[in-house]
Structure 1
Amino acid sequence: MKTSVRAQLTQGVNLTPQLLQSIRLLQLTAPQLELELRQALDRNPMLEPVDDDEAGEADAVDTATDAELEAAAWDELPDPVFLSGGGTGGADDDACARIAAGESTDWRVRLLQELSFEWGDGALRQAQWWLDHCDDHGLLEGDPGELAREGAAALTTTAAALEAARQRLLHGAWTGVAAASAAECLLAQLASHPADATRSLAERMVGEQIHALAAHDNAALAHALGADADAVAAATALVLSLRPSPVEPPAAEDDGHVIPDVSVRFLGGQWRVALNGRATPRIRIAAHCEQALAHAPGDQSVLRGLLDEARWLVRGIAMRNDTLLRTVQVLVERQRAFLERGEEAIAPLTLREVADAIGMHESTVSRITSGKYIQTPRGTFELKRLFAVRLEGAAVSGAAVKAMVKRLIDAEPGHAPLADDVIAGLLARRGVRIARRTVAKYRDQLSIPSARQRCKPALAA
C-alpha cells in the first residue's frame, strides 16, 4: 500500500451562532416567537420591552435597517441540510446545539437532523431536494420523474441517483415520506410488514382497488380480487392500521382564534402590507445598561457577552420581519386579482417564483410562510394559501378551477344538477379544458356529492 498526500480546496458555509439563530427565528410562528422573546427578556437584563402604543403596526418601508443589510448573509445558507451540522466544522461540532434549546417546528428539519447521522453530505442534499417538494403531510407536490430531472440539473447529479434517494426516504425511518401518492405511501408501509397472504392481498387492494377500498365496499373488493370475505376483511384491517400520510399533523393547540402575522389593506389606490406589531412583544437594547457597561471598570466579559447576545437577537428579529414583509409584498402583488375578485382569480404561483423575486432561496420562502397568517379583506388565512399549482395545459391554477366548479354547482337548479361532464363542457367554453375525472376530483375535495345525490325532486304545481 502506498501512502500519498493530496491537497484539496473546498468551499463551505461557516455557521456562526448568529446565523443559526437567524434561521431558527425565521421559521417561528407568532405564538412561538412571543414565547421566545419573553424568555429572552427574563434571562437577559440587557433587553427591555418596548411599550409604545403608537406602533401597533410596522410598515414595510420603516422596517429595513442597516443591521438587517449587514446580517443579510444568513440567506446564503442554501439548504436546510446545514441545520444538521453535516459537512461543516469538526466531527464533534453540533451546529444545532449552539442555538437556544428547542425543537424545530418544521418536520423537514427534524428528519434531516435524524438522517445526518447515517447519510453523507451528497445524499443529504438529495434528501433535502425531495423534502422541499413535499407538502405538510410528507407527500410530493409534483411528478417524481419531472422533479428528479429538475433536481439532477440543480444538484449536478443524475435522475437515477435522486430517485434512489427518494426510495431510501420512502422506506426509511419515516416510512412513506416523499411518496408520489397516498397509495404509494401505504404500499411503502405495507412493505415493512412480514410477507404473508394478508399483506399480499392488502398490496393488491391498495394498488388495484384503492377506490373500492376507500368506499369500504368489501363485496366489490372480494369480487374484483377473487378472494373470500374473511381474507378481504383481514387485509382491510391491515390497511386501516396504517397511517394515511407519513407526517401526522400536529395536535391542535389553538384557542379558537388566529392572530395574523401581517395585514394587507387597499389604501391610496394600492395594496399595502404591514406587520401586526401586536402579535408579538417588541424588544430593544436597554440603553441605560449599555451606557453603564461602556464605563464599567474591571472585567465585564460576562455582561458584554449578554450584550452581544441581545444585539444578535434584535438584529435577527429585524431580519425576520424584513424577510416576511418582502415575501408577503410579492405574494400580494402576484395575487392582486385574487384579493380583488376572489378565489376564481387566484393565479399560479410557486415557491421558486417568489424566491427569485426577493433574491432568496426556496427553502427560505418555505420557512417564512409556514404557519404565518395574513389578514385581508377576504378573511384571515395562512400564507400558503396564496401559492397555487398551475393546471396542466392551462394558464390558470387548480385552486381557481376548483372555485369555478363550486360556483357552477352552487348556481345549478336543485331539480337538475350538473353532471361532471357538463361542468367540464361549461368550463371549456371559458377556455379551461379539463377532464371529467378532474371535475370529479375537485368535487370530492370540496365534499360535494355526485349529481345523482344532489338531485332534489321538483315541487308539485
Structure 2
Amino acid sequence: MKATMSPKLGLGVNLTPQLLQSIRMLQLTAPQLEMELRQALERNPLLEQEEPEDDIDDACADAQLETAAWDELPEPSFLSGGSVGSDYDDAASRVAESASTDPRVRLLQSLALQWDARDLSIAAWWLDQCDDRGYLEAPLDELHLLGHGACNVDASELEIVRQRLLHGEWPGVAAVDAGECLRAQLSMQPESGARTLAMRILRDHVDLLAMHDEAALAKALRVDADAVRAAVALILTLRAHPIEDAPAREHDVIVPDVVAWRADGAWRVALNARSTPRVRIAAHCERALADAPGDVSALRGMLDEARWLVRGVTMRNDTLLRTARVLVERQRAYLEQGDEAIAPLTLREVADAIGMHESTVSRITSGKYLQTPRGTIELKRLFAVRLEGADVSGSAVKAMVKRLIDDEPAHAPLADDTIAGLLARQGVRVARRTVAKYRDQLAIAPARQRRRTPAVLAKAG
C-alpha cells in the first residue's frame, strides 16, 4: 500500500487559556464568582480588593473592546439555529461550569459525550420545538415538514433522532403527548405482567385512567381488579413530564446579580455591588516589578494572570449589565403589570440589541438573578416564545388561562373551548388544544373534574 498525503482546509478556533477563563467567567453566578475572586486574592499577591466607590468606568470601556475576543467564537447550533452537520465543535461548551438552569443545555451537554455532531444538532432542533415540560408544541406531521427544511434531512432521519430522545437519558422528551411520554418511560422498566398491562392502559384507555375508574379498566381489559391496581401503581411511579430539574445544591442561596428599580418615570438597572468583590492589580507592586533587577519571570507570570483575571471580570460585568438593561427595557410591561404582560422575546433579539452572539447571551443569563419590585427573578424568565399567529407570548396566554380559571364560578367551571372564546374576545386567538396544553402545564384538571355542586360548596363553607 502506498502512503499519500493530501492537503485539507478546515475552519477552527484556537482557544487560549486566557480566553477560556474569560468565557468561564460569563457562566459563574454571583456566589461562584465571589469564591473565585477570594481564592485569586489569596494566591496572587499582586491582586488587591477594590473598594466599591472606586471608579471603574475606564475598565468597562476597555472591556467593551475586548468582548469581541470571545464573541467571535462559533455558536452552538442549538442556540444559533445553524445548519446540521457542522464540522466545528464549540470548545467553549467544554469549559467546566455549574449545572445550567436551561434543561435543553443540560441534556445536550450530556448527549454530547456520546452522540455525533450531526445527530446532536438534530436533537437540538427537536428540543427547540418542545415546551417547558418537554412535549412537542406542534403536530408531528407539521414538525417533520418544518424539520426537513430547517435541518436538510428527511422525515425518517428526524424521527430516528426523536425516538432516541424519547427513549434516552430523559425518557419521554420530545413526546407528542402525555401518553407517549409515559409509554416511553414505561418501556424502560423491567418486563413484567404489570408493565404489559400498564402499556395497554396508556395506549387504549387513558380516559378511564384519568377518571380513576379501576372497575371500568378491569372490565375493558378483561382482567381482575388486583392486576389493574398493580398496573396503575406502576404508572403512578412515572414522571408527569420528562424535563428534569437542575440538580439542587446544599446551602444554595439566591443572590441577585443585577438590581432594577423605577425612578423618575424610567427603569434603572445596576449591578449588585454587594454580591461580588472587585479586584485590581496593586499599583505599587506593578511599578516595583517594572524596575526590578534579576530574574522575575515568575512574578511577571503572576502579573499577566492578574491582568487577565481583572479584564475577564470587567468584561463579564459589562456584558451582564448591558444584557440586563435590554431585558428590562423590553419587559417593562411585565415588571409593571405582571405575567399577562410578558412580551415575546428571544435570545437572538437580545443578542442583536447588544451586538453579540446568542451563545454569549445564553451563558451570561444562565443562573443569574434580577432583583425587582416584583421580587427576585431569574433572567431566563424574561425570555418568552411568541405564540404562533399572535402578537403575545405563550407565557402571557398561560397566565391569562390561569386567571380565567381562578375567577370561574365553582359550580360552572369553564371548558377549554369556552376559555379559547373568552381569549378571542380579548384579541388573543388560540386553539382549544392550546388552552388544554397550558391548563395541563398549570396542573389544573379538566372542567368536569373542577365542578363543585351546591351540596359540596355548602359542606365546604
Contact conserved, 2:52 with 2:278, CA < 8 A, in 1?
Answer: no
- Superposed CA offset, 1:41-76 (max 9, x none): 222222222223578xx9xx8874223422422122
Q: Which moved more, 1:410-419 or 1:235-244?
A: 410-419
Q: TM-score scaled to structure 2, two decimals? A: 0.79
One-letter amino acid of the structure 1 residue matched with residue 51 of structure 2 = D
Q: Aligned-pair distance for 1:381?
A: 1.3
Q: Distance in 1 between matches of 2:132 and 2:378?
A: 13
Equivalence for 2:27 = 27
1:373-412 → structure 2 map (5 Å cutoff): 373-412=369-408
- Superposed CA offset, 1:391-419 (max 9, x none): 33322222222333344445556676655
Q: Distance in 2 between matches of 1:308 and 1:219?
A: 75
Equivalence for 1:199 = 195
Q: Distance in 2 between matches of 1:182 and 1:397?
A: 23
Contact conserved, 2:371 with 2:377, CA < 8 A, in 1?
Answer: yes
Q: Aligned-pair distance for 1:371?
A: 1.9
Q: Distance in 2 between matches of 1:249 and 1:219?
A: 39
- The gaps in structure 2 that reach 5 residues or longer are 79-86
Q: Distance in 2 between matches of 1:182 and 1:39?
A: 48
Q: Distance in 1 between matches of 2:294 and 2:371?
A: 52
Q: Distance in 2 between matches of 1:333 and 1:87?
A: 35
Equivalence for 1:105 = 99
Equivalence for 2:310 = 314
Contact conserved, 2:339 with 2:399, CA < 8 A, in 1?
Answer: yes
Contact conserved, 1:424 with 1:435, CA < 8 A, in 2?
Answer: yes
Match of 1:349 among 345, 350, 359: 345
Q: Distance in 2 between matches of 1:111 and 1:360?
A: 24
Change (3 A) 1:76 1:131: farther
Q: Aligned-pair distance for 1:320?
A: 1.8
Equivalence for 1:332 = 328
Q: Distance in 2 between matches of 1:140 and 1:18?
A: 40
One-letter amino acid of the structure 2 residue matched with residue 48 of structure 1 = E
Q: Aligned-pair distance for 1:153?
A: 5.5
Q: What secondary structure, in the 3-state scheme, does the structure 1 residue paired with 2:345 have? A: coil
Change (3 A) 1:168 1:448: closer
Q: Distance in 2 between matches of 1:41 and 1:266?
A: 36
Q: Distance in 1 between matches of 2:412 and 2:217?
A: 33
1:5 and 2:1 correspond? no
1:120-159 → structure 2 map (5 Å cutoff): 120-130=116-126
Equivalence for 1:453 = 452
Equivalence for 2:83 = none
Change (3 A) 1:335 1:46: same
1:239-258 → structure 2 map (5 Å cutoff): 239-244=235-240, 245=242, 247-251=244-248, 253=250, 258=254
Q: Aligned-pair distance for 1:216?
A: 5.0
Q: What secondary structure, in the 3-state scheme, does the structure 2 residue paired with 1:15 have? A: coil
1:237 and 2:233 correspond? yes
Q: Distance in 2 between matches of 1:136 and 1:438?
A: 14
- The gaps in structure 1 that reach 5 residues or longer are none
Q: What secondary structure, in the 3-state scheme, does the structure 1 residue paired with 2:451 have? A: helix
Q: Distance in 2 between matches of 1:34 and 1:24?
A: 14
Q: Give percent identity, aligned residues only.
A: 65
The Cα RMSD (Å) is 4.0
Q: Which moved more, 1:306-315 or 1:147-156?
A: 147-156
Change (3 A) 1:411 1:241: closer
Contact conserved, 1:417 with 1:454, CA < 8 A, in 2?
Answer: no
Equivalence for 1:39 = 39
Change (3 A) 1:143 1:328: farther
- Superposed CA offset, 1:189-214 (max 9, x none): 33334555433333333344456546
Match of 1:426 among 415, 422, 425: 422
Q: Which moved more, 1:417-426 or 1:69-78?
A: 417-426
Q: What secondary structure, in the 3-state scheme, does the structure 1 residue paired with 2:392 have? A: coil
Q: Distance in 1 between matches of 2:327 and 2:195?
A: 46
Q: What secondary structure, in the 3-state scheme, does the structure 1 residue paired with 2:452 have? A: helix
Q: Distance in 2 between matches of 1:145 and 1:315?
A: 50
Change (3 A) 1:330 1:388: same
Q: Aligned-pair distance for 1:236?
A: 2.9
Q: Aligned-pair distance for 1:22?
A: 2.3
Contact conserved, 2:24 with 2:97, CA < 8 A, in 1?
Answer: no
1:299 and 2:273 correspond? no
One-letter amino acid of the structure 2 residue matched with residue 453 of structure 1 = R
Q: Distance in 2 between matches of 1:328 and 1:163?
A: 38
Q: Distance in 2 between matches of 1:133 and 1:34?
A: 37
Contact conserved, 2:99 with 2:247, CA < 8 A, in 1?
Answer: no
Q: Aligned-pair distance for 1:11?
A: 0.4
Contact conserved, 2:345 with 2:386, CA < 8 A, in 1?
Answer: yes
One-letter amino acid of the structure 2 residue matched with residue 305 of structure 1 = G
1:67-86 → structure 2 map (5 Å cutoff): 67-80=63-76
One-letter amino acid of the structure 1 residue matched with residue 356 of structure 2 = M
Equivalence for 1:267 = 263
Give the number of equivalent residue pairs.
444
- Superposed CA offset, 1:143-190 (max 9, x none): 777667666666665565454334334434554455555544433333
Q: Aligned-pair distance for 1:323?
A: 2.0
Contact conserved, 2:366 with 2:379, CA < 8 A, in 1?
Answer: yes
Contact conserved, 1:24 with 1:104, CA < 8 A, in 2?
Answer: no
Q: What secondary structure, in the 3-state scheme, does the structure 2 residue paired with 1:381 have? A: strand
Contact conserved, 1:264 with 1:375, CA < 8 A, in 2?
Answer: yes
Contact conserved, 1:166 with 1:178, CA < 8 A, in 2?
Answer: yes
Q: Aligned-pair distance for 1:12?
A: 0.9
- Superposed CA offset, 1:227-274 (max 9, x none): 43333333333334444535343226456x643211222334432221
